[in-house]
Amino acid sequence: MSDNTDLLAINWNDLKYFLALWRYKRLSLAATKIGCTHVTIANRVEQLEKAIGTKLFFQNSKGFHLTTAGENLIPYAEKCERTLRLANENYRNVQEIRSKIRIGVTEGFSNYFLSSRLPAWIKDQGIDIELISLAGSTFITSGEVDISITIGPQKGSNIIQKKLTDYTLGLFSTQDYLSNNDPIEKTSDLLNHHFIGYIEDQVFSDLLKYQGEISPNLNFIYKSTTIHTQHKAVNTGLGIGILPHFVAYGDPNITPVLPKTLLHRELWISTSKDLHKFRDLKLTWDFILNACAEEKHRFMV
């Protein structure tokens, strides 16, 4: 950064485009996320670089990446963003404007727990919810969501996080399948059976690569990218699946196989460090934590 740089000469709106390009790496994706054209992103970042007197990004085949000067600017840009959000919160409270909370969550926890509870809760709240249910993870540091729920903790600055719940996974199948195939009394007996599971190269986290923890030699005849479709396949009687207990909970069509064979994982919830300054964000955070605590029996055996 130039010794003659006058940061007060910066167009502060350009920091929005700078943060977007840092978070999404590509001009087209950044433009889509914040609702402008890729030309606007490129021009505003170029103007910011001219004002500062140095390059903030370099580009390669994987997109745009921060230079040392760009890395040094990030905490100041994020602080500006947080300050504006806090100011907006104050005006929102005065004008009694409804909050909008975006929640990023893995599809299994969303489909089998959160999606039925959030709508019932917000009936009595002045809050709008956007539930982003994905096979992958959303991260608070991306700026795309207000609350993120992930398998295991996140990394990053300016976030707070807490373990939401422990959960277990087990082996499940239909009674019809078990009655018409070889008996299963120990883990080695599983090698004689058909299995339903995930596609290895489509799993977004090593924490979800649990099939080998049962046995490295299981015979998978059906694989899917979502826990919902795996659950559906188990219900058909095709074979045995490894399911979280909150997915299998209350399903009368499937039964545990080797009930003492369990895998253990954790769900974590994260948000920005400014949580307690945003009333409705804190209310939503507390609701999710309390809902999991009250129904802990759905997650563990």
* pLDDT of amino acid 96: 62
What type of residue is 92? R
Angle, helices 68-95 vs 14-24, to 10°: value is 110
Which residues have a Cβ under 8 Å from the Cβ of 18 and sit 6 or more positions away? 44, 45, 48, 56, 70, 73, 77
What's the pLDDT score for residue 133? 83
Neighbour-count burial of 60, counting CB atoms closer than 10 A to its CB (0-12 exposed, 13-18 middle, 19+ buried): exposed
Are 7-93 and 98-165+266-298 in the same CATH fold? no
pLDDT of res. 279: 86
Provide the residue ranges of all domains of the chain, joining segments of one domain with +: 7-93, 98-165+266-298, 166-264
What pLDDT, on a 0 to 100 scale, did the predictor assign at position 273?
Answer: 84
**Given this model, what pLDDT does residue 94 score?**
58
Q: Is the pTM of this model over 0.85?
A: no
Q: What is the pLDDT of residues 185-238, one digit of tens each?
A: 999 999 999 999 998 877 777 777 888 899 989 999 999 989 999 999 999 999
Q: The domain 98-165+266-298: what is its CATH number? A: 3.40.190.10
pLDDT at position 168, please?
96
Which letter does DSSP use for residue 36 in this model? S
pLDDT of residue 142: 64
Which of the listed CATH numbers 1.10.10.10, 3.30.1330.20, 1.20.1530.20, 1.10.600.10 matches domain 7-93? 1.10.10.10
Name the token pair of 103: 């929640």
**3-state class percentages of the chain: helix first, strand second, coil last, to nearest 5:** 45, 25, 30
SS3 129: strand
pLDDT for 9 equals 66
Question: Is residue 224 within 8 Å of residue 199, measured between CB atoms?
Answer: yes
| Residue linked to tokens 């009687």 | 237
Segments in the chain below pLDDT 50: 1
Q: Is 2 exposed, middle or buried (0-12, 13-18, 19+ CB in 10 A)?
A: exposed
CATH architecture of the domain 166-264 equals 3-Layer(aba) Sandwich (3.40)
